[in-house]
Amino acid sequence: MTNPQTEYDSPWKEILQLYFPDFMLFFFPQFHAQIDWTKEPVFLDKELQQVIRDAELGKRLVDKLVKIYLLDGTESWVLIHIEIQGNEEDEFSQRMYVYNYRIFDCYNRSVVSIAVLGDTNTSWRPNQFGYNLFGCRLDFQFPIVKLIDYRGRQAELAASDNVFATVVMAHLVGLETSNNRTQRKRQKLALIRGLYEKGFEREKVINLFRFIDWMLTLPLELDREFWQEYRQYEESKNMRYITSVERIGIEEGTKQGLIKGIALGLKLKFGDAGTDLLPEIEEIGDVDLLSAVLDAIATVDTVEQLRQVYRSNC
């Protein structure tokens, strides 16, 4: 069976690779200004997988490794960790350090490690790992982004043409509407309307639509209402960006993303006993129920308790 840790993917990965310059400009403008963007960034997936195979660290949060060139001609590698699911972890900073030095050790390249934290704990801001013993001192520091710091900055985000302003808004809406799916539907539609109002080209609209749809899943009935209201909006603007085929692709991508997330969670929490549930879970067609199963992994104590979550809702 394929290890879900190595196949796990999410729209964060997709949007990051599609719009990496925007990512750097939005979150790290001081670094963006030092990069020579006339030279295309190169995503080093094979190199990253080699480090993942060699470093036995349990949970793997490494997301993307990118080769860039600075304006002075220097080649550098940027290591991006994305911790979107929001769990505070004591060993996070240590993992950041270990991956950093493993990449340096393997490839003798300068490596910049940065982290995006999507949790709700305002006080958890891991950005350093080190020790000092017998005159031997290690002080590894790395920049972080805390997405909840953008709360209260909705007007600024809405005015921005950077795609990651929309990404952050979708993430915050997901946090704020976890217990109010009717409000989620309204805000989801508002985010989609914003894509058209910003004048984004069709491809960018579709890419961001896919991200928003994955972040803001809805129960079946509300999802039908959302698509009906969305179609009415498109018709009022005389724009038809999302075809029926593309809608099916978006919905299927959301489903597969949730299943992969569940596979990862099951493997990490329950080992092989957890992955034995996957054939049953893959039969679930309701995106909202899949989302509930993913959320429940953090709270249940046994595989059987998790099974009851989806069987009781079937």
Percent of the chain with pLDDT over 70: 84
Check whether 269 has a pLDDT greater than 70. yes
Q: Among residues 43, 17, 14, 45, which one has the least CA distance to residue 249? A: 14
274-300 pLDDT, tens digit per residue, is 888 888 888 887 766 787 788 788 888
203-229 pLDDT, tens digit per residue, is 898 889 889 988 888 887 888 898 889
Looking at the chain, list the stretches that DSSP marks H as alpha helix, in order from N- to C-terminal side. 4-7, 11-18, 20-27, 29-32, 45-54, 92-107, 154-159, 163-176, 181-197, 202-215, 220-237, 244-270, 272-275, 278-281, 287-296, 303-311
156-203 pLDDT, tens digit per residue, is 999 999 999 999 999 999 989 988 989 999 999 999 999 988 888 888
190-193: Cβ within 8 A, 24+ apart: 191/166, 191/216, 192/230, 192/233, 193/233
Q: 11 or 212: whose pLDDT is higher?
A: 212
Check whether 83 has a pLDDT greater than 70. no
Half-sphere exposure of 11 (CA within 13 A, CB side): 25
CB 258 within 8 A of CB 294: yes
